[in-house]
Amino acid sequence: MSKKRVVLVEYFTLEDHTLLFIVREDFDEPKVFTIEKKLEDIQKSVRDYFQAEKNADGKFIPTRDKLKNLDEAAYQSFFAPFVVPLVSRLPNGELITEEGDIIWLVPHNVLHYLPLHALKVNWKHNEEDPEQHCYLIERNPICYTPSASVMKYCHAKRKERREKALVLGISEGSPPLPQAREEALMVAGLFNTEPYLDQQATKSLVKDKLEQERENIDILHFCCHGRFRQDDAFKSCIVLAPEGENNGDEEQWNLTAEEILGLDMRADLVTLSACETGVNLNRPGDELIGLTRALIYAGTPSVIVSLWEVDDLSTGLLMQHFYQKFRQPAAENGNQFVTKAEALQEAQLYVKNLQAEAVISYCNQRLAELAQLEDTQLIIRFLQARANIEILAADLGAAIATYQDIQKTLGTPKNEQDKKLAKQVAETLDDLEFKAEADNFVNYNFQPFQELFNWASFVLVGDWK
């Protein structure tokens, strides 16, 4: 396998502009670009597009909701200058970065909140179609680090073994994550192991495993909620199962960033398939304190985290494709693996470009498998996912039939949660039956996850290899 060229791209925000430094192995010195954007304007744009906040009425607006309603054209227009230099040319006509180069991004200040890989660049500088653009991730594999100095530390911790995994999944919580169990079973199956689910997935278990079996754990995968504490980033945590009476302190069972700093991590990759686990608190000097940096300081060379709360179906599909690629050799009969950056790139583009019919087929496949296990909660979840795609395709007859299947599967509600779901299903059925009276053009020729909300939230932090 030919060695991939790595290009370092580091930002430094100042009051009136941002400096961009591009470093290549064959450069005598960094190429420096000035981006004429004021820090005040950058902060406002990041806050408007990506940061959770309270509105004028005091209502909390999570990042997830902001991303679902993102004005992508405005986002691309404002932040495009931050990636344009990556596809500019040197005086000799050579592109600064070529398609396929691994781009190592080091954001600064509030730029850490952005999915820079989801900004658009000119695709190959096509002279016949100069306006042809693509997302940066479509052109190049991407990795991030909190600072340039961190990468040397990450490389030193590289394990280069992808055999054994410790997988935890918690479907309970607020809100419930029914497909966390599904994702944990899928990931564990790829590594021929059994996951620790729900009440098994405790902080004590994680600490014991990392103490007793740390040399044997290559991958550590969490499918659960994560919480970012803006008031105290050291208390940002992975939400794990309670182990006894909480004595009024429900957070005592969570694994915090502060506790992670005290662990001796030997895994080559930690994946936090959870909510907003990649968000960190920016401090003076650009120090980032949160789960990501805590894991790296504890000895993990590579971490995959999310910048915002993500859809569980698209996340499950992304993680399945990522680990399938992650486990593949880079070439036939090769003894090297695909890089982590390339595996994540392929997984994100797979989800982005997935056709509606393929999602329906995936749901049907899983429903057939789950029927044998009689897993009612997951069956309902996949039926809902299938119905959502059928509604988007205007196939209301199919959606009605799917919602009727949900009613049959749910049966007589046994608790308040089931009663609430039964009411929602009945109301949706009434609405669908009313709309079905009109003529609808059925069309499955679309990509249900093409919006960046669905595929761009995960970032690889640390060692790309």
**Residues found in the chain:** 465
| 188: Cβ contacts below 8 Å, ≥ 6 apart | 165, 167, 194, 195
To the nearest 5 percent, what fractions of the chain are helix, strand and coil?
A: 45, 20, 40
Question: The whole model's pTM is what?
Answer: 0.91
pLDDT number for residue 18: 97
Residues 275, 226 contacting (CB under 8 angstroms)? yes
Angle at alpha carbon of residue 424, lines to 422 and 428, rounded to 5°: 115
The span from the CA of 182 to the CA of 235, in Å, is 28
Provide the pLDDT for residue 286. 36
Residue 335's pLDDT is 62
Residue ranges of alpha helices (H) inside 266-339 are 291-297, 312-326
Which residues, 6 or more positions from 413, have their beta carbon under 8 angstroms from its beta carbon? Answer: 419, 421, 422
Q: How far apart are CA 241 and CA 173, in angstroms?
A: 9
Cβ pair 164, 218 in contact under 8 A: yes
CA distance 166 to 145: 24
Cα(16)–Cα(427) distance, rounded to whole angstroms? Answer: 53
Rg of the chain taking only CA atoms, in angstroms: 23
Q: Are 212 and 204 in contact (CB under 8 A)?
A: no
Check residue 89 and report its DSSP letter: B
**What would the CATH number be for the domain defined by 155-351+452-462?**
3.40.50.1460
Q: Which stretches in the chain have pLDDT values below 70?
A: 1-2, 123-131, 246-250, 274-289, 330-335
Every domain of the chain and the residues it spans: 6-140, 155-351+452-462, 356-435
Do 168 and 201 contact (CB within 8 A), yes or no? Answer: yes
Q: How far apart are CA 189 and CA 264, in angstroms?
A: 26
Angle in degrees, CA 241, 244, 249, rounded to 5: 80
The token duo for 274 is 């959870």
Residue 271 is predicted with a pLDDT of 95
Residue 331 CA, chain-centre distance (Å), reads 26
What does the pLDDT read at residue 285? 37
pLDDT score for 334: 61
203-235 core/surface letters (b: 16 or more CB in 10 A; e: else): bebbeebbeeebeebbbbbbbbbbbbbeeebbe
pLDDT value for 1: 47
Straight-line distance from the first to the last Cα atom of the chain, in angstroms, rounded to the nearest whole number: 13
